[in-house]
């Protein structure tokens, strides 16, 4: 056996040899208690599922879909697919039946694993339109489970549970390892995409292994670390950094019940590392700022506000007496709300607000922003513990090459670049040219080799005056206003730039109080001329350093937030520009027709 083979089976073997296989590693909250399961049980269960799959007469190296929230069964199924040389196709539970049908048919999935009755019903509604689908396996027990209909309860597969001792387990894994090659397809991940139909990204064992082997350069973690997992495994960032990474390194993973329970669960779990997207950090930051405003006047409020100011001004200089005093009086209390052990937020999947990043570092919680794509397995670059530059996404990872094309597009090369798009050779040839993957993102490398993302190539638009405008940059600046929750900037082939804005209603109420505007109905917040004039003034103030052609001239407030369910957001919370522009065409046209 080639011990240097870059496969996840090899990583598992290395981990079992190095760490105690009987230590609980995955934890799920049930009835206010955390139930743990160790790797010995997980791998044995996965062997059991592997044997079951091999008896179903599937195609060799079949594609098997998983539609589920993060849970132990997800991990067991994933490992079983690896052991049986099948490929997983993770699907976001938030997707509609129609979107799921497209993916199942495109990859010709023979089995779909579902988590709940809700997901099962989605599949049953489209089953007749999915000719390749043979079996539905439900993680939750189902009353309708029956062999005839090929609807199976996951638990029923464990009727003859294997329980191999560690040495026999390693022997079986060694045999599996001999059969699994580095370039074997591990998974097909369908990118949600802000434009067009989803594309299946083919990632191999070597792709993901190559990304994982460079993570210790960045995170400095070991088996004593505790991860709190809330991003979906359907997303490559969480799957790689929040599941594979700690699982193979012996760290513990606790599952968050939802994004809304994270605040409580941080105090219970006391995590050391959280893999996150900027939206969670924004929520925590805004809540802290709101606390500062709402505190009763007095000495405590003065001390708290003083501490907040020290965090902002001394974030990169913690050796001063001022910072140490603020740490003792204020920051330790804030950190206690995160469990008191949190040393790191690793942020990706969108642009981190620089003010927010610096603030968290200022209170003693490092925030490292990185950049990556599904097609690059995923991490391309990330800031480091001792080299952290806010406003950038850090230097490239050790085994990743990055260069900037003449038109500003970021190009990536290395073992982490995908095998291609499933069943789309034309798209693959367009994306990978001479080994360089064309990311579709615009950026630059600074003098220190740090990468900075300036916009999406497809997001760039040209005004009717011929000027190129980067909307993301404008959106980030305006989003700093506390009452702006979501924003999309518009202006392609238009005379000037406009915006659709979803405000934070509570913050808008605070603004109304501040400017002494009495509101009878909540809907008045969106139409009151004094409020609108104040927002206009604030927007003009924050964009004063932008070029004239980049400035938002008009805006419309939306009463309904952009959501995944209503189609405006991708499952990774990115705005689908084309969809939103079509949905609100009348409002947008109105901003240009008015003189």
Please indicate, yes or no, if residue 350 is contained in any of the structural domains.
yes
Instruction: Note whether 383 and 389 are within 8 A (CB).
Output: yes
Instruction: Note whether 358 and 308 are within 8 A (CB).
Output: no
* Pairwise CA distance, residues 480 & 246, whole Å: 34
* Pairwise CA distance, residues 336 & 328, whole Å: 12
Whether residues 48 and 168 fall in one domain = yes
Beta bridge partners of 451: 445
Report the interhelical angle of 354-362 vs 278-294 (nearest 10°). Answer: 70
Beta bridge partners of 369: 347
* pLDDT tens over the chain, length 595 residues: 445 799 999 999 999 999 999 999 999 999 999 999 999 999 999 999 999 999 999 999 999 999 999 999 999 999 999 999 999 999 999 888 988 999 999 999 999 999 999 999 999 999 999 999 999 999 998 876 566 679 999 988 875 556 778 899 999 999 999 999 999 999 999 986 555 678 999 999 999 999 999 998 888 889 999 999 999 999 999 999 999 999 999 999 999 998 889 999 999 999 999 999 888 898 899 889 888 888 999 999 999 999 999 999 999 999 999 999 999 999 999 999 999 999 999 999 888 889 999 999 999 999 999 999 999 999 999 999 989 999 999 999 999 999 999 999 999 999 999 999 999 999 999 999 999 999 999 999 999 999 999 887 778 787 777 777 889 889 989 998 999 999 999 998 888 999 999 999 999 999 999 999 998 899 999 999 999 999 999 999 999 998 888 999 999 999 999 988 888 888 777 788 888 999 999 999 999 975 4
Please indicate, yes or no, if residue 238 is contained in any of the structural domains.
no
Give the dihedral of Cα atoms 210, 211, 215, 218; nearest 10 deg.
Answer: 120
Please indicate, yes or no, if residue 503 is contained in any of the structural domains.
yes
- Looking at residue 550, what DSSP letter applies? G
Whether residues 171 and 272 fall in one domain = no
Scan for tokens 């109420």, then name that residue. 509
- Which of 181, 206, 236 finishes a domain? 181
* Pairwise CA distance, residues 544 & 193, whole Å: 32
H or E element at residue 72: helix 72-83
* Pairwise CA distance, residues 109 & 125, whole Å: 16
Whichever domain contains 565, its CATH number is: 3.30.300.30
Whichever domain contains 288, its CATH number is: 3.40.50.12780
Distance of CA 579 to the CA centre of its chain: 21
* Pairwise CA distance, residues 199 & 106, whole Å: 9
Whether residues 162 and 81 fall in one domain = yes
Q: Within 10 A of 313 (CB to CB), how many other CB atoms are there?
A: 14
Q: Phi/psi at 54 (nearest 5 deg)?
A: -70, -15
* Pairwise CA distance, residues 337 & 304, whole Å: 15
Whether residues 400 and 536 fall in one domain = no
Whether residues 394 and 468 fall in one domain = no
Whether residues 373 and 398 fall in one domain = yes
> Torsion-angle region of residue 85: left (phi > 0), alpha (psi -120 to 50) or beta?
left
Whether residues 285 and 411 fall in one domain = yes
> Torsion-angle region of residue 310: left (phi > 0), alpha (psi -120 to 50) or beta?
alpha
Instruction: Note whether 84 and 182 are within 8 A (CB).
Output: no
Please indicate, yes or no, if residue 12 is contained in any of the structural domains.
no
Whether residues 418 and 282 fall in one domain = yes
Is residue 247 packed enough to be buried (19+ CB in 10 Å), middle (13-18) or exposed (0-12)? Answer: buried
* Pairwise CA distance, residues 143 & 220, whole Å: 47
Please indicate, yes or no, if residue 547 is contained in any of the structural domains.
yes
Whichever domain contains 104, its CATH number is: 3.40.50.980
Whether residues 394 and 470 fall in one domain = no
Instruction: Note whether 509 and 519 are within 8 A (CB).
Output: yes
* Pairwise CA distance, residues 255 & 242, whole Å: 10
- Which of 456, 491, 511 finishes a domain? 456
Whether residues 263 and 402 fall in one domain = yes
Domain span holding position 117? 35-181
Whether residues 419 and 394 fall in one domain = yes
* Pairwise CA distance, residues 113 & 125, whole Å: 15
- Which of 440, 456, 472 finishes a domain? 456
* Pairwise CA distance, residues 202 & 437, whole Å: 14
* Pairwise CA distance, residues 455 & 278, whole Å: 16
Instruction: Note whether 381 and 370 are within 8 A (CB).
Output: yes
pTM (predicted TM-score): 0.87
Whether residues 444 and 539 fall in one domain = no
């Amino acid at each position: 056996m080639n011990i240097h083979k870059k496969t996840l089976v090899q990583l598992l073997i290395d981990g079992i040899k190095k760490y105690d296989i009987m230590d609980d590693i995955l934890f799920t909250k049930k009835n206010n208690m955390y139930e743990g399961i160790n790797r010995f049980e997980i791998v044995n269960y996965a062997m059991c599922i592997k044997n079951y799959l091999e008896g179903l007469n599937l195609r060799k190296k079949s594609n098997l879909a998983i539609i589920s929230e993060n849970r132990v069964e997800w991990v067991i199924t994933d490992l079983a697919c690896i052991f049986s040389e099948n490929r997983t196709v993770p699907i976001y539970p938030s997707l509609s039946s129609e979107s799921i049908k497209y993916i199942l048919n495109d990859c010709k999935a023979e089995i779909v694993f579902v988590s709940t009755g809700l997901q099962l019903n989605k599949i049953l509604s489209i089953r007749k339109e999915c000719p390749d689908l043979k079996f539905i396996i439900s993680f939750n027990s189902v009353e309708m489970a029956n062999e005839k209909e090929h609807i199976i309860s996951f638990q029923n597969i464990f009727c003859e549970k294997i329980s191999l001792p560690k040495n026999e387990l390693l022997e079986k894994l060694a045999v599996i390892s001999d059969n699994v090659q580095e370039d074997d397809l591990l998974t097909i991940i369908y990118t949600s995409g802000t434009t067009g139909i989803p594309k299946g990204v083919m990632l191999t064992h070597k792709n993901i292994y190559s990304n994982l082997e460079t993570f210790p350069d960045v995170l400095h973690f070991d088996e004593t670390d505790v991860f709190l997992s809330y991003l979906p495994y359907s997303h490559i960032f969480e799957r790689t950094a929040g599941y594979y990474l700690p699982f193979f390194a012996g760290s513990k993973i606790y599952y968050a019940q939802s994004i809304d329970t994270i605040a409580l669960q941080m105090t219970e779990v006391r995590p050391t590392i959280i893999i996150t997207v900027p939206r969670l950090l924004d929520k925590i930051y805004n809540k802290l700022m709101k606390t500062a405003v709402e505190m009763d006047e007095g000495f405590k409020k003065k001390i708290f506000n003083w501490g907040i100011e020290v965090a902002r001004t001394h974030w990169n200089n913690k050796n001063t007496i001022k910072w140490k005093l603020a740490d003792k009086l204020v920051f330790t209390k804030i950190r206690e709300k995160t469990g008191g052990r949190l040393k790191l937020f690793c942020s990706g999947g969108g642009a981190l607000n620089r003010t927010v990043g610096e603030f968290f570092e200022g209170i003693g919680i490092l925030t490292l922003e990185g950049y990556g794509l599904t097609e690059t397995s995923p991490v391309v670059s990330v800031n480091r513990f001792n080299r952290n530059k806010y406003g950038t996404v850090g230097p490239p990872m050790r085994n990743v090459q990055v260069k900037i094309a003449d038109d500003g597009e970021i190009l990536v090369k290395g073992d982490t670049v995908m095998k291609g798009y499933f069943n789309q050779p034309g798209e693959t040839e367009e994306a990978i040219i001479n080994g360089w993957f064309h990311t579709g993102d615009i950026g630059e490398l600074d003098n220190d080799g740090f990468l900075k993302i300036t916009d999406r190539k497809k997001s760039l638009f040209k005004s009717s005056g011929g000027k190129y405008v980067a909307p993301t940059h404008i959106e980030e600046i305006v989003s700093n206003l506390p009452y702006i929750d979501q924003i999309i900037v518009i202006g392609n082939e238009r005379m000037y730039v406009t915006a659709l804005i979803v405000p934070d209603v509570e913050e808008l109420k605070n603004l109304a109080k501040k400017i002494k505007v009495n509101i009878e109905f909540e809907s008045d917040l969106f139409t009151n001329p004094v409020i609108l004039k104040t927002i206009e003034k604030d927007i003009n103030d924050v964009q004063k350093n932008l070029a004239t052609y980049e400035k938002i001239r008009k805006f419309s407030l939306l009463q309904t937030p952009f959501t995944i369910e209503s189609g405006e957001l991708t499952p990774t919370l990115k705005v689908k520009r084309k969809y939103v522009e079509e949905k609100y065409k009348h409002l947008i046209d109105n901003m240009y027709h008015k003189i």
